[in-house]
Structure formats: structure tokens, C-alpha cells
Amino acid sequence: MVVLVLMCAEMVMVPGVSATRWIVGANMGWTTNFNYTVWAQDKHFYNGDWLFFVYDRNQMNVLEVNKTDYEACNSDHPLHNWTTGAGRDVVPLNVTRNYYIISGKGFCYGGMKLAIHVENLPPPPTTSPINEKSSSPSLTSRGKFVLPMVFAIGAVWDAFLRFW
């Protein structure tokens, strides 16, 4: 059930109708025994997306570091401490660059490290004027339909997380 909701959410969000809120680690969240390199490798992160970290607030944290400290799992001088204390942290990906995020408290050594590249949104596909005229009404109506869907799925997921 969780996986199903999540897969729907990702599939709906990926086409770039709106910004994507990535739940890091999907249904596993931000935890040990998970390979975040593998999780990230088939994904495109665009400027304007968010990363959403869900984890045990008593154990892990969310620290942005530079490349050197990412590779060495050094959490002594984070560039940004995204930890709020709730175990639910949002990292806005609002700059086109690489982001290196680790958990301190020793968990980075166990694999709690995420490196991603944030890209600019690709320009919309160019279509000939004839195609554009005939296809734009359907595109508009699909946009109107998909957007509430994204929020609806997000709301369901939020509700689910609260009871988790």
C-alpha cells in the first residue's frame, strides 16, 4: 500500500507539471541499511524541487556538507544544518549545483549519505504552430486535472506519515 501510493506520487510528479517533493529513501525514509546513491541514480532533481527527510529524530540528523566532508563522512563543519528536531526536514533545492547531505552521529559511515545534482528544468518541447493549436486544449485540461491529483496524493501521504 505504501509503496503503491509512493510510486503513484513519483510517477505523477516526475513529468514536471509542478515541483517535486522527493521523499528521500521513498518508503524507507532516511535510515541505515539503505543505499541513497542507488536511490538517487535514476532520478532527475530540478531547481525548485524539495528533499523531504523522514527519520527517527532521536537518532539521525540532516547536515549539508561539502564534497570532501561527504566523502570522509566528516560532520564537524556542516555548510548547513537542516535538522529542525521534528524528524521531518525539508531541504529546498533552489540552486543549480551539487548537494551533499549526510547524517552525523556516525550514521554516515553506515551509508546515510546522499549526493545529488540539481539541474535547471529542461525547456518545454518545441512544437510546430499547428500541433500546438490542436494539442493545447487537451494539455491545459490535463494540467488542471494532474495538479490537484498531486496535492491529493501529497495530503494522503502526509496523513499516513502522521500515523506512522
Ligand X SMILES: *[C@@H]1O[C@H](CO)[C@@H](O)[C@H](O)[C@H]1NC(C)=O
Per CB under 6 A, does 69 bind ligand X? yes
Give yes or no for residue 81 binding ligand X (CB under 6 A): yes
Is residue 48 part of the contact set for ligand X (CB under 6 A)?
no
DSSP, res 26: G
* Nearest residue (CB) to ligand X, 98 versus 134: 98
Applying CB under 6 A, which of residues 4, 85, 120, 162 lies at the interface with ligand X?
85
In the complex with ligand X, the residue whose CB is nearer, 98 or 127, is 98
Give the containing element (helix H, strand E) for 119: strand 113-119
Q: How far is the CB of 109 from ligand X (least distance, A)?
A: 9
Number of helices and strands in the chain (H, E): 4, 8
Q: Which residue's entry shows cell 529524530?
A: 57
- CA 133 to each of CA 127, 145, 146: distance values in angstroms, whole numbers, following the listed order: 10, 20, 21
Partner residues linked to 46 by β-bridges: 119
Binding part of the chain for ligand X, among 22-30, 59-67, 126-134, 148-156 by CB under 6 A, reads 59-67
Rounded Cα gap, residues 3 and 156, in angstroms:
13
Pick the binder of ligand X from 11, 14, 66, 158 (CB under 6 A): 66
Q: Binding residue for ligand X (CB under 6 A) from 15, 92, 106, 143?
A: 92
Q: How far is CA 40 from the centre of its chain?
A: 9
| Site residues for ligand X per CB under 6 A | 35, 37-38, 61, 63, 66-69, 77, 81, 83, 85, 92, 94-95, 104, 111
